[in-house]
């Protein structure tokens, strides 16, 4: 796909027999009104296939997070088209948008766990939106907490967990329902190297096993190698899109 900026998107080896997970065309976005209006994203063209792990990087204020929130249907596009899993989310009514978000997995910089809920319950809150039996929910929660090294902390509330453990619970909550698209904002920022590897391995496993697309914003150069594609965003424009190692 080619944008007006002359940028060539990298063909992916991921599934191409179905609609791409993300298609962004001619996307512009600005904050504020009138004279205070400030452009954040300019003429973004982007396609992410299902089963693709894409990292978006760039300096602070380059528009990475805004792009993520637009793709996650948390903001409405002002100009351009945004199709997620084949659906134009700019056209979706509010109610459908709420339901649509259930197919996504969000990982925020802050864990945002409810202090009253245990790790188990926080993750179950995500599964409660889906039609699963209690046994199935239990199996999934236990399995994901085990793979994230939290098997011993099933019934711990956030106050009893370290920062890294809380972040892993938040990650488990975002991916336990095997979403079609995971949008992650600096998910490994609070993690040490070992735990970062565990989390990235979870992402890779999800991509491999369920065809989930992962779009991750990070400035952590240690994790670039894990991705299928690395997109550089500078001053609201995509300046490069390549495979790590190219």
Partner 1 sequence: MAASERTRWILRPQTVPFVRQAIAHRKRRTAVAVSGIAFAILVVFVQLGFYGAVVNTALAISSKLDADVLLVSPRFVHLSQANSIPRVRLFQTLALSEVVSATPLYLRYARWREPLTGESCKLFALGFPLISGAPLVLPGIEEQLGAIEPSNTLLADTLMRPECGPFAPDGAVEVREQVAHVTGRFELGVGFLGDGAILMSDDTFARLFSSHSLDRVHLGLVKLAPGVDPELAAGKLREILPEDTRVVSRGELQGLLERHWVENTAVGNIFGMGTVAGFFVGVVVLFQVLSADIRTQLPLYATLKAMGYRDTKLYRYVLEQSWVFALLGFVPALIVTSSLFPLIRGATNLPVFMTPGLAGFVLVLSLGMCTLAGTLSLRRISTAEPAELF
Q: Using the rule CB under 8 A, which residue among 17, 35, 135, 246 binds partner 1?
A: 135
Residue 182 interacting with partner 1 (CB under 8 A): no
Among positions 59-118, residues that touch partner 1 (CB under 8 A) are 65-66, 68-69, 72, 74-75, 95, 98-104, 106, 108-110, 112-117
Q: Using the rule CB under 8 A, which residue among 12, 57, 62, 124 binds partner 1?
A: 124
Question: What minimum distance in Å lies between the beta carbon of 76 and partner 1?
Answer: 9
- Residues with Cβ within 8 Å of 222's Cβ and at least 6 positions away in sequence, in order, are 193, 196
Question: What minimum distance in Å lies between the beta carbon of 112 and partner 1?
Answer: 4
Residue closer to partner 1 (CB basis): 103 or 232: 103
| Site for partner 1, rule CB under 8 A | 65-66, 68-69, 72, 74-75, 95, 98-104, 106, 108-110, 112-117, 121, 124-126, 128-129, 134-135, 157, 173, 185
């Amino acid at each position: 796909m080619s944008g007006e900026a002359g940028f060539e998107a990298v063909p992916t080896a991921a599934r191409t027999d179905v609609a791409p997970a993300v298609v962004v065309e001619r996307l512009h976005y600005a904050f504020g009104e009138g004279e205070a209006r400030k452009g954040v994203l300019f003429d973004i063209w982007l396609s992410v296939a299902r089963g693709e792990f894409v990292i978006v990087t760039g300096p602070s204020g380059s528009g990475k997070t805004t792009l993520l929130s637009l793709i996650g249907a948390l903001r409405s596009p002002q100009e351009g088209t945004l199709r997620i899993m084949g659906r134009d989310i700019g056209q979706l009514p509010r109610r459908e948008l709420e339901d649509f978000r259930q197919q996504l997995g969000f990982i925020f910089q802050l864990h945002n766990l409810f202090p009253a809920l245990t790790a188990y319950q926080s993750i179950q809150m995500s599964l409660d939106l889906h039609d699963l039996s209690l046994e199935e929910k239990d199996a999934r929660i236990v399995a994901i907490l085990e793979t994230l090294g939290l098997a011993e902390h099933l019934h711990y509330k956030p106050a009893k967990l370290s920062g890294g453990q809380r972040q892993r619970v938040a990650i488990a909550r975002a991916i336990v329902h095997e979403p079609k698209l995971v949008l992650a904002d600096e998910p490994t920022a609070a993690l040490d190297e070992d735990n970062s590897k565990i989390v990235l391995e979870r992402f890779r496993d999800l991509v491999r096993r369920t065809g989930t697309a992962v779009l991750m914003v990070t400035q952590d150069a240690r994790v670039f190698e894990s991705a299928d594609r690395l997109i550089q965003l500078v001053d609201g424009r995509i300046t490069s899109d390549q495979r790590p190692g190219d």
